[in-house]
Amino acid sequence: MTWTDPAAAIPLFQTGDIFTEPNHKTYTIDNLLSVYHAVGSREYVEKGVQNSTTETSLYTTQPLIPGGTMGTVGSYTALLFGRMAQATTPTLLWTWRIKLGGSTVYTLSATGGNAVDTEGLWWLEIYIENMGSQSSQRIWGRGYKYPTGQATFPFTLSATSTVDTSVDQVFDITVQMGAAGANNYCYKTFSKQTAGKN
């Protein structure tokens, strides 16, 4: 599936011409799948970790990136919103991991702020771009929280990976706390994903 300039198809679609199955696939179906479109399901159910030191996914069902969806120069985008607090330990260590195909492609660890932090809202954007090959990625991201407090927010990230996206791969984001506490938690409240070849 690649993008084909529809201008090249104009002579094929004159009045009286037959819109053949191969032309329909090339100029309609493949082109639609090449532009950015939703992949996987949006999640509106809260998912996260509280009072635990276990590494926990922020997804109820980890999104699947279908093989070939990104092509050689396309990308995958994940957007998440949530809420979090560290109300018992000001020096709590937070560890966020971004995973592609089961491999951790980026880890962000930072100690919480200098004071106890009440609940705040956060959002996170992750971009994965294939760099001329289906097995060579560059990853960018940014995250913000209001009100600020945890040392992990705000942040930006940049990383590389060599995951083969020509086959199905699972995407995931996990959170892990360095100490348990009834009032220490992080939940994702909404997420969505898009992907395309251009």
The 10s digit of each residue's pLDDT in 116-167 is 667 888 889 999 999 999 999 999 998 887 766 555 666 778 899 999 999 9
Task: Specify the higher pLDDT residue, 43 or 14.
Answer: 43
Q: What is the pLDDT of residue 46?
A: 94
The 10s digit of each residue's pLDDT in 56-93 is 999 999 999 999 889 899 999 999 999 988 776 667 78
The 10s digit of each residue's pLDDT in 85-114 is 877 666 778 889 999 999 999 988 877 655
Q: What is the pLDDT of residue 17?
A: 60
Q: What is the pLDDT of residue 128?
A: 95
This prediction has a pTM of 0.81
Q: What is the pLDDT of residue 10?
A: 60
Rounded Cα distance between 88 and 128, Å, is 35
Average pLDDT, the chain: 82
Residue 93, number of CB atoms within 10 A of its CB = 17
84 neighbors 150 (Cβ within 8 angstroms): yes
Using the predicted structure, report yes or no on whether residue 1 has a pLDDT greater than 60: no
* Domain parsing of the chain, residue ranges: 1-34, 38-196
Q: Please, which contacts does 152-158 make with residues 24 or more away whose CB atoms are closer than 8 Å?
A: 152/94, 152/96, 152/108, 152/110, 153/122, 155/108, 155/110, 157/98, 157/106, 157/108
Q: What is the pLDDT of residue 119?
A: 80
Record: fold of 38-196: Jelly Rolls (2.60.120)
